[in-house]
């Protein structure tokens, strides 16, 4: 039982990172209806920019964080304005290919600019793990979980209880009608990309100390984040968080009791079972259209 509880608690840290990735996908999908498969390379770029600020430039950690996150928002706006806006009325498959092309292209640019040798980022918190009964909880895992929960609550409150959230929901519901009502839809789509890439960048910066920082280090994380978004119900912030935590715990249990190589297999078996029972995911809602 102690091993089981330890694996569950340890899985919460990675689950929080998957949840952040799923939140990023959800934010962008809710307003632009685009599944951002370039999330892995965009978040990697943000982490590499933080490494650049910390190492060659030797800036303070707090300033490096602020610069990296500011760059994340600028990158999100530029990617949407330069690439996705050009194909916003194209078939979905064209938009998917565009984001996949961006994934490969940005990874190549990151490799050319920063090199392929592994790099490291410092942990946010230092010190030994603390005990909860017979279970040890890593300080940075606890921080990642706290950041994920607080960010999800903040985004939910913004979406549900502010004028900004009302406008975002209007754009997500019907872009043309929102535009006719005087809402500058393009501004809110750009904002969703900015915040979405920022959240993805946070996930990369938080997980980088535990994984070697390379131009492709977020690919596996992005796959689990996509799985979390699907499991929770694409478009649901609550689903993104729950899906990320469930997948983090399950993948850790599979790794602890079986093998690392079976993590992805078991995760997608779980998704198939859930989608068979609930085709829209755990918290997704069926799309109703009037004929």
**Over pLDDT 90: what percentage of the chain?**
63
Q: Which of 121, 97, 87 is nearest to 203 (CA)?
A: 121
3 state SS for 77-100:
HHHHHHCHHHHCCCCHHHHHHHHH
Domain boundaries, the chain: 2-277
Q: Which of 17, 287, 39, 253 is nearest to 145 (CA)?
A: 17
The answer to whether residue 289 scores a pLDDT higher than 50 is no
CATH 3.30.1560, domain 2-277, yes or no: no
- pLDDT by residue (tens digit) across 209-253? 988 899 999 999 999 999 999 999 988 899 999 999 999 999 999
- pLDDT by residue (tens digit) across 273-286? 988 898 888 887 76
């Amino acid at each position: 039982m102690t091993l089981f509880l330890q694996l569950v608690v340890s899985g919460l840290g990675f689950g929080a990172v998957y949840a952040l990735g799923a939140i990023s996908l959800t934010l962008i999908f809710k307003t632009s209806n685009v599944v951002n498969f370039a999330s892995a390379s965009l978040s990697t770029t943000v982490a590499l920019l933080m490494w650049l600020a910390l190492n060659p430039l030797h800036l303070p950690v707090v300033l490096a964080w602020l610069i990296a996150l500011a760059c994340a928002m600028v990158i999100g706006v530029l990617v949407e304005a330069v690439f996705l806006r050009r194909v916003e009325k194209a078939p979905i498959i064209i938009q998917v290919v565009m984001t996949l092309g961006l994934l490969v292209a940005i990874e190549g640019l990151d490799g050319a600019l920063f090199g392929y040798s592994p790099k490291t980022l410092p942990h946010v918190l230092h010190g030994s793990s603390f005990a909860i009964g017979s279970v040890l909880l890593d300080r940075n895992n606890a921080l990642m979980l706290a950041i994920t929960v607080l960010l999800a609550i903040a985004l939910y409150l913004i979406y549900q209880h502010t004028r900004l959230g009302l406008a975002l929901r209007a754009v997500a519901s019907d872009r043309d009608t929102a535009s006719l009502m005087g809402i500058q839809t393009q501004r809110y789509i750009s904002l969703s990309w900015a915040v979405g890439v920022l959240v993805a960048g946070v996930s990369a910066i938080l997980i980088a100390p535990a994984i070697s920082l390379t131009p492709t280090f977020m690919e596996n994380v992005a796959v689990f984040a996509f799985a979390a978004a699907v499991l929770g119900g694409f478009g649901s912030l609550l689903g993104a968080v729950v899906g990320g935590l469930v997948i983090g715990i399950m993948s850790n249990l599979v790794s602890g009791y079986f093998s690392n190589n079976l993590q992805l297999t078991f995760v997608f078996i779980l998704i198939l079972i859930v989608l068979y029972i609930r085709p829209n995911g755990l918290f997704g809602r069926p799309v109703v259209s009037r004929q």
